[in-house]
Amino acid sequence: MVMMNTTIQTFVKTLTESLSDTTPLRRSQCVKDLKTRRNEQPETKLRENRQKISRVKSQRLKERALKD
């Protein structure tokens, strides 16, 4: 019984140590992911807007070419 108790205590101790070691890393990774997501969203919006502008310009050029 004593051996089983110490084994369980050792297991719990190592488990809590491993969890405490990885938790800050996971939190910091989440924060980094959120920051990169915030930075990527405007870039994708800008890219989409540029694509729309280029489509409109090309359509206008085609219309002008057809008129001439």
Q: How many domains does the chain have?
A: 1
Q: How far apart are CA 49 and CA 55, in angstroms?
A: 10
Q: How far apart are CA 8 and CA 18, in angstroms?
A: 15
Q: Please tell me the predicted confidence (pLDDT) of residue 23.
A: 55
Residue 67 lies in a domain: yes
Residue 48 lies in a domain: yes
pTM comes to 0.40
Residue 54 lies in a domain: yes
Q: Which domain holds residue 56?
A: 38-68
3-15 pLDDT, tens digit per residue, is 777 888 888 787 7
26-55 pLDDT, tens digit per residue, is 666 666 666 666 666 677 788 889 999 999
Residue 12 lies in a domain: no
Q: Please tell me the predicted confidence (pLDDT) of residue 53.
A: 94
Q: Please tell me the predicted confidence (pLDDT) of residue 58.
A: 93
Residue 66 pLDDT > 80: yes
